[in-house]
Amino acid sequence: MVAEEVALYGEAVVTVRGKGKYVIIPIEKYNELREYELLAALAETRKAIAEGDYTIESVKDHIKRITSD
């Protein structure tokens, strides 16, 4: 049943209590979407570096900075 839905529509939505909760897609589509996410993260990082929006610090200092209130 799920395989037919995916074959027909390219995806299948799993509902929980009548609301869409999960989407089943072919692994090829998942890998494609994941690659887009990684490319977007790379572009965001390159933009931050170009704008000087970064910090150079040791691992110890980084952990201290992100865990302090």
**For 5-52, what is each residue's pLDDT tens digit?**
999 999 999 999 999 999 999 999 999 999 999 999 999 999 999 999
**pLDDT value at 4 more than 80:** yes
Where are the chain's structural domains? 2-67
**pLDDT value at 69 more than 80:** no
Distance CA 69, CA 67 (A): 7
Distance CA 35, CA 43 (A): 12
CA angle 55, 45, 35 (to 5 degrees): 145
Instruction: Please give the structure tokens belonging to residue 21.
Output: 């909760």
CB-facing half-sphere around the CA of 67: CA atoms within 13 A: 6
| Predicted pLDDT of residue 68 | 87
Query: Residue 1's pLDDT band (boundaries 50, 70, 90)?
Result: confident
pTM summary value: 0.69
Are 30 and 36 within 8 A, CB to CB?
no
